[in-house]
Amino acid sequence: MSHTILVVEDDAAIRRGIVDALKFEGYTTFEACDGAAGLDMALGVNCNLILLDLVLPKRDGLSILKEVKLAKPTLPVIILTARGEEHDRVQGLKLGADDYVVKPFSVKELLARVQAVLRRSPERPMDVQQVKFPGGTADLQRRELRFDKGDRCELSDREMELLRYLAINGGRAVSRDEILSRVWGMDPAGVATRTIDMHVARLREKLRDDAHEPKVLLTVRGKGYMFAGT
């Protein structure tokens, strides 16, 4: 089965070279020449990987990466950067990028990175739209909790994304720094993690999960939080 790759790159010659190389290897491609179109396509098309330039007109690559990781946390992204953009490259990795390729790069190197990331991606947990928990179901598209007794409770955007990320990584302790980076889209360095604890407490309350003996959102001492589900 052919993988589909979205290429977001404003330099027409580089973009054409990448697309031609991918097609030659049997990949299906979409392409965008600016950040606004790239974000629309990233959120709208069904693809297996995004190759994302960081310096783009209309919308920069890092802001695109933040939105993509909020909407599609499991979608792999490889960032394309110029040699002198080390800070942006590091920031991209903190925001959830899977790898980076420094310009100018060879087609052989790029294809090797693409193949490596796609090989890892089947191991990722799939994104979820509904999450079962004791006593009900979370509908993440509608941002609400539906309890078996018939009543409902609305979730904020942040609570919905927090629950989604923990559920996707169910059974694994997720650190506060990882939540800040992957859900909040923030650099965890120098940021107080108390805000994570407060959001978890509010989410537990809405899930009717006992704060003293939680069964759904567990606190893993020294590590973070873990979704135990049903």
Domain boundaries, the chain: 4-123, 130-227
- Return d(Cα 205, Cα 203) in angstroms, integer: 5
Omega prior to 104 cis, within 30 of 0: yes
Please report the pLDDT score of residue 1 as a whole number.
Answer: 47
Confidence of residue 157 (pLDDT cuts 50, 70, 90): confident
Contacts for 24 with CB less than 8 Å, ≥ 6 apart: none
Helix, strand and coil content of the chain, in percent to the nearest 5, comes to 40, 20, 40
Confidence of residue 141 (pLDDT cuts 50, 70, 90): confident
For the record, the structure tokens of 29 come out as: 């491609």
> Residue 80, class by beta-carbon neighbours within 10 Å (0-12 exposed, 13-18 middle, 19+ buried)?
buried
For the record, the structure tokens of 24 come out as: 């030659």
**Please, are residues 147 and 136 in contact by the beta-carbon 8 Å criterion?**
yes
- 177 has pLDDT over 90: no
**Please, are residues 181 and 198 in contact by the beta-carbon 8 Å criterion?**
no
Cα angle 128-193-183, degrees, rounded to a multiple of 5: 25
Instruction: Mark out the alpha helices in 150-230 (DSSP H runs).
Output: 157-168, 176-182, 194-207
Q: Is 0.95 topped by the overall pTM?
A: no
- 185 has pLDDT over 80: no
Q: What CATH class has 4-123?
A: alpha beta
Domain 4-123 and domain 130-227 have a common topology: no
Number of Cβ within a 10 Å radius of residue 162:
24
The amino acid at 75:
L
**Please, are residues 173 and 226 in contact by the beta-carbon 8 Å criterion?**
yes
Find the farthest-apart pair of alpha carbons in the chain and give their distance in angstroms, rounded: 59
pLDDT one-digit tens code per residue, 29-67: 999 999 999 999 998 888 889 999 998 999 999 999 988
CATH code of 130-227, in short, is 1.10.10.10
- Return d(Cα 228, Cα 52) in angstroms, integer: 34
Contacts for 101 with CB less than 8 Å, ≥ 6 apart: 78, 79, 80, 81, 109, 110, 113
pLDDT one-digit tens code per residue, 194-217: 888 999 999 999 999 999 999 999
For the record, the structure tokens of 67 come out as: 């939105």
For 36, the enclosing helix (H) or strand (E) is helix 35-44
